[in-house]
Amino acid sequence: MTRAERALDRIHSGVAPSRDEAVSLLGVSDARLPELLGAASAVRDRGRGRRITFSKKVFVPLTTLCRDYCGYCTFRRDPGEPGAHTLTPEEVIALVQAGARLGAKEALFSLGDRPEALFPEHRAFLRVMGHRTTLGYLRQICELVLKESPLLPHANPGLMGERDLARLREVNVSMGLMLETTSERLLRPAMAHHRAPDKVPTRRLRTLALAGKLQIPFTTGILIGIGETLEERVDSLFAIKDLHERFGHIQEVIVQNFRAKPRIPMAHHPEPSAGEMLRTVAVARLCLGGSVNVQAPPNLAGDLYPALLHAGLNDWGGISPLTVDHINPEAPWPLIGALRRATEAAGFELRERLAIYPEYASRPEFLAEGLRPRVQALLDGDGCVRTDYERWRQW
C-alpha cells in the first residue's frame, strides 16, 4: 500500500491529513483520484451542504503600477508603458455605477503594491489627489464608492500595516491578500518572486495576522504552479489553516492556478494540469476542513470548471457582469446563466453572496458599524443576497 493509499484510508475514517499525508495525496494516482475527490466532496457536503456561492462584482484596477516584478504577472506596468494607469475618482465612479446598473454588489479593488516607493510620477499623482500613499488614496476612493453607489468595497491592495488595515476596515466589508506561497526559495534569482519584495512570505503572513487581530473577514489563498514544490504547497495551506485557527477570520481560501501568458517572464513555464488542480482543491478541502469556504476561479479552468465541484469547493468567487478579469484578461468569465446551469446540473444550488460571507455578515464584530445596515438590507434569512433587490437597479 502506498503512502497516499494509507492517507486515503485514514481520511475515510474521518481523520484530517497530516502534512506528509497531504503531500502524498497531491501525488495520488489517477486510479485513486475519484476516491480523493469523493472524500473531499463528502467533507464539503457535511460542512457546507450543497450550496455553491458567487459574488456579482465589478473589478476596479485602481492602479496598474506596482513596485514588484512577479514573474507571472500580466497586470503590472511601469509608468509610460501601454496600459499604465491610475484611475481617477471620476473613472472609478463611472465604473461602479455602470456595474450597479447590471446588478453588481461588490467593488473589487485590485492594484499594484506600493508604486509610490519606486515611481516619482505616481508620487506626483498622489500629491495632486492629496495623499502620500496609494493606500490613503484607496481609502478615499472606497469612501466615495460607498457614497456614490450601492456597491460594497472589497480591497486587495497588497501588504498593509495595522494602521492602514484599521482605516480600510471602516470602508470595506471584507479585504484580501493572497498568501500565494510560503516558499522563500521562490525569492531567489530566476524564480517567480525574485524581484518582488512584497512577496516575502513572512511579510504576507504578518498582514494576514494583523487582519485577524482587527477582525477583518479576509480572503487569501495559494497560487499553484509557480515553481513551488508539493511540500511547499502544503506548507502554505497549513499556514493559512494556522492563521484561521488563531483568529477565525479567513472567510475564503482561493486555489488559483498559474496561467502562462505571452508577455510575462514565465511565458514558457508549464501550467498546472487539470489533474493537479483537482488534487490541490481536494487536498485544500481536506486540510482546511468542512467549514472553510474553498474557492477556485471558474474562468481559469476552461471547460474543466464544473469538475472542480467534485473536488470539494463551495464558491466560484467574484463574477463580473461588466469588466474583464484584469489579472487574467485572456480568460473570460463564464456567464452567470451558464455557471448556474453547470452548477445545478452537477446537483448543487447556486446562490449569490456578498463580498462578506454569510457567517461573517451575521457577526457584528467582523463588520464596521457604519456598514452593517447596508449589508443587512441586502441579505435574506440564509445570509445570501435577497432575490427582490430591484431597488438596486434603480440607483
Query: Residue 364: which residues within 8 A CB-CB, separation 6 or more?
Result: 372
Asked if residue 216 lies in contact with residue 366, where contact means CB atoms within 8 angstroms, the answer is yes
Give whichever of 257 and 314 is closer to ligand SF4, judged by the CB atom.
Answer: 257
Q: How far is the CB of 209 from ligand SF4 (least distance, A)?
A: 19
Give whichever of 131 and 195 is closer to ligand SF4, judged by the CB atom.
Answer: 195
Q: How far is the CB of 180 from ligand SF4 (least distance, A)?
A: 8
Give whichever of 196 and 300 is closer to ligand SF4, judged by the CB atom.
Answer: 196
Q: How far is the CB of 232 from ligand SF4 (least distance, A)?
A: 18
Q: How far is the CB of 81 from ligand SF4 (least distance, A)?
A: 13
DSSP 8-class letter at 58: E
Give whichever of 70 and 141 is closer to ligand SF4, judged by the CB atom.
Answer: 70
For 260-265, the CB contacts below 8 A with 24+ separation are 261/74, 261/328, 261/330, 263/74, 264/71, 264/72, 264/73, 264/74, 265/69, 265/71, 265/72
Residue type, 138: L
Residue 365 burial (C-beta neighbours within 10 Å; 0-12, 13-18, 19+): exposed
Give whichever of 22 and 223 is closer to ligand SF4, judged by the CB atom.
Answer: 223
Asked if residue 218 lies in contact with residue 249, where contact means CB atoms within 8 angstroms, the answer is yes
**CA 233, CA 180: separation in Å to the nearest integer?**
9
Give whichever of 227 and 306 is closer to ligand SF4, judged by the CB atom.
Answer: 227
Asked if residue 380 lies in contact with residue 179, where contact means CB atoms within 8 angstroms, the answer is no
Binding site for ligand SF4 (CB under 6 A): 66, 68-70, 73, 75-76, 112-113, 158, 196, 198
**CA 164, CA 322: separation in Å to the nearest integer?**
29
Q: How far is the CB of 177 from ligand SF4 (least distance, A)?
A: 10
Q: How far is the CB of 156 from ligand SF4 (least distance, A)?
A: 9
106-111 vs 152-156, strand pairing mode: parallel
Give whichever of 22 and 66 is closer to ligand SF4, judged by the CB atom.
Answer: 66
Q: How far is the CB of 62 from ligand SF4 (least distance, A)?
A: 11
- Within the chain, where are the H helices? 3-12, 19-26, 33-48, 89-101, 120-129, 134-148, 162-169, 201-213, 230-247, 274-288, 336-345, 358-361, 372-378, 390-393
**CA 139, CA 336: separation in Å to the nearest integer?**
30
Q: How far is the CB of 353 from ligand SF4 (least distance, A)?
A: 25
Give whichever of 37 and 66 is closer to ligand SF4, judged by the CB atom.
Answer: 66
